Every structure is written in C-alpha cells, then in structure tokens.
Amino acid sequence: MFESLSSRLGNTLRALSGSGRLTEDDVKNASRELRMALLEADVALPVVRDFVERVRARAVGAEVTQSLTPGQAFLRIVQQELVTTLGGETQGLNLRAQPPLVILMAGLQGSGKTTTSGKLALRLKDVDKKKVMLVSCDVYRPAAIEQLRIVAEKIGVECFPSAVGQNPVDIARAALDHARRAYAEVLIVDTAGRTSVDEAMMQEIAALHAAIEPAETLFVVDSMTGQDAANTAKAFADRLPLSGVVLTKVDGDARGGAALSVRTVTGAPIKFLGVGEKSSALEVFHPDRIASRILGQGDVLSLIEETVQKVDRDKAEKLAQKLKKNKRFDLEDFRDQMLQMQNMGGVGAMLEKLPGGAQMQAQLAKANPEKEVGRSIAIINSMTRRERRFPDHIKASHRRRIAAGSGTQVQDVNRLLRQFDQTRDMMKKVASGGMGKLMRGLAGRMPPGMMPRR
C-alpha cells in the first residue's frame, strides 16, 4: 500500500540524508516535496498541512542545525512525526471487559466488514484463545448473512442465526443473551452498511450501540478510498464513540493516504490491517513499524513474527535434521520452501518488510515472481515421486512429459532445475560450513558494496 508514498519520500530524503549542513532553503524545498508526496498519496489536506508544518518547525530549530549530520536528523524528524500521525504506539483490543465482550463492526457497504469480522474472530480464537461467536445484523442483504455463516463455519466458530426482515436491535440482544448462556467470551456484531453515509444507517447503528453497549466499536474502512475515507470516518466518529479502526485491502494498490488521514480525523487508533483474502490475513497495526516501512527501512520485526506464526515448524525441523545428516536436499524440499513462502503472502509481501524492499519489488515487478513460484510448484507437482527425490536422473524425454503435464515449456522445466541446483549448492554450504560459508559464497555473486564489510 505504501509503495508510492515510500518511493516519493525516499527520493526526497535521500537527497538530504548525506548533507553536512542544511540551509533554510533546503528545509523549505524538502517541506514542499513532502507536501507533494503526501497529497499524491491522497492524504487529507488538513492532515498534510499539520504534518508538514510540524516537520518544518522542528527542522529549522536547533535540533537539526546543531546536529553533526543534519540530513539524518531531518530524516529522524520525519520518521518521528510519521509515528505520531499514525498513532504513536500500538493499541490492541480491550479484552479485559466482563464476558461476553461485544465488538461492534461499523462501516460502509463493501468496506470489508463481514470478511474482517471473520478474520478478527479467527485471531481471537487462535491467538488470544477466546471462545468467539459471530452474528450478522445486516438484514437488508441475505447474501451478507449467508456469507458470515460460511465464514464462521470455515474458521470453526459459532454464528448466531438471523434473517431478512428481523429488527437488528432484536437480533443483537438475542445474540448477546445466547452468548451468555453459551459462555462465549467475545461476540462480534457485523452491521449493515450503505454505499454512502445516510441518516437511516446512522440511526440504526447508534441504536445498536446503545442496546448492546460494546466494549469495542471498530470502524472498518477500505484503504483504497483515499481522502473519502477521512470524510466517511468523520461522519461515523461524530455519531459513534469509535474505539479503533481497521484498514482493509492494504495489499491492493492503495496509496497510503487513508492510514495517515483516518487516525487524525477520528482520533481513534488504527488497530488492524487487512492484508489479503485469507482468513488469517489480519495484522496488528504498529505505527513505528509502518513508519519505517514507508521510509523504506523495512519491518523486520513483523517479518520475524509472521515467520514464527506461519512457518511449519515440524517441516523446518525435519529439513534441518536432514541437512545435518548430510542427506540430499530434493525437489520435494524445494517445493515445501516455496509453499511456505506463499503461505507468508508471497515474495512481494516478504520484500515489503525488508529494508530497501520497495526498490527490489520495483526491479522484480516485470519478472512477476509470484507467477514464477506458482509455475515452479506446478512443474514439480507434474513429476513422479522418484523424479522429485532424484532430480539428477531426469532425462530429456522426462522433461518433455513434465512440461506437457504442467502446461509449461521444456525451457521452463530446465530453468527450474537450474534454480534447484543453485539452491541445493547453498544448502550444502549451510550444512557443511554454516551461515558464514554461505555468505562468503553469495558475496562473489553480488555487485560491489552489497555485502557488509567485516
């Protein structure tokens, strides 16, 4: 989501970061570039003005002029102000209320409330170990009620039944009574939306809020709506005591403006990011990590946390033991590694969290690495078990059959086998000499300056 904003800010700040001194003109020009970058990212104008003024005021003060590295000091100011604008610190859900704790989901139609309700239920069930129940109060769209029921069944939580024509307040009260009897710890209430803000919707959701007194009222907003997100957020914040915001469709081509605008306009912290279509694709929002990501410094902590959560530890341990015993790394192992990477969101999602990842993503955009990974998995799946175990025995006739079976060309099969050979060589280095030997081997393949000096 932050690729465009990151690229524009990166160009501006790179020019300053190495400066030995900063003049007032330098600060003025940088402030103008900051303003343009934020406006292009669809940040609301009042938020842009406030942000740029805070940066400029600090930059022309002693904080920068007396620094030994003024350019780096300016970069630090921008990062600190980004963190402040995004909320300052991570704020999770209030789970200390008397059960059943009620979470009310609010937002426009199409913002992703129903999907997000399911994602949140799964997170509370798996991460927080809570007994969760879902209920739909969207009595205007039968498909919404059925969608929530299917989502609940998929993630293994109870969904209280509702139907078109019922009163939303009656549904919510009945669901709350059932949650108490069923000893549910959390009840998530999915509400109706409209294509735009109107008085009828606001009155209905205000009545729901008054009837069930939720511990959390989360505003779900599509991050691709840009400045409109700020206007919608203000309308909801004026009628409801919002406790948090969930930004959805962050994995799309949104320009990042919604994240900066909504927090300022509502005063409510952003608590989660919807980063994909899977039920598990919900990330906790960390202002400091997002600020680092925007400035191209990566988000290694989130990558580590995601790796711990999503990587199959049993398979990783088996592979480690296999390599220690000097057993051969085969194509089944190679496929498992690619599947694990897909489970973490693919190459793009991983690069986004690495320092300089935005530049690497831009370089790989034409190559379409996600498509290449999918093609490689299809090729390996088209092989016999013996071929996967002993790839060196794959002959030309075998390669033609594999290509035909996977819907690819023989050249694609040859390319995959070459990539596998390179990966196997690296795995041998790790097994025989550890990471140091691997890094020395990689150093010879990288351009000058890419490897750190010892």
* Residue list for the binding site for GTP: 107-114, 190-194, 248-251
> Are 185 and 101 a contacting pair, CB within 8 Å?
yes
> Are 141 and 192 a contacting pair, CB within 8 Å?
yes
244 strand-pairing partners: 218
Region for residue 225 given its phi and psi (left: phi exceeds 0; alpha: psi -120 to 50; beta: otherwise) = alpha
Q: Which DSSP symbol is given to 253?
A: S
Q: How far apart are CA 449 and CA 380, in angstroms?
A: 36
Strands in 158-160's sheet, in edge-to-edge order, are 158-160, 132-136, 186-190, 101-106, 216-222, 244-248, 270-274, 282-284
Q: How far apart are CA 226 and CA 47, in angstroms?
A: 13
> Are 228 and 253 a contacting pair, CB within 8 Å?
no
User: What ranges make up the beta strands (E) of 206-340?
Assistant: 216-222, 244-248, 270-274, 282-284
Q: How far apart are CA 75 and CA 94, in angstroms?
A: 34
For 102, list phi and psi in degrees, rounded to 5: -105, 130
246 strand-pairing partners: 220, 272
Strand-pair category, 186-190 with 270-274: unpaired
Burial of 373 (0-12, 13-18, 19+ CB in 10 A): middle
Q: Which DSSP symbol is given to 391?
A: G
> Are 270 and 116 a contacting pair, CB within 8 Å?
no
> Are 2 and 287 a contacting pair, CB within 8 Å?
no
Q: Which residues are annotated as a binding site?
A: 107-114, 190-194, 248-251
**How many C-beta neighbours within 10 Å does residue 94 have?**
12
> Are 266 and 52 a contacting pair, CB within 8 Å?
no
**Cα separations (Å) of 321 from 313, 314, 315, 385, 426?**
12, 11, 10, 21, 16
**Cα separations (Å) of 326 from 163, 320, 323, 329, 442?**
61, 10, 5, 9, 21
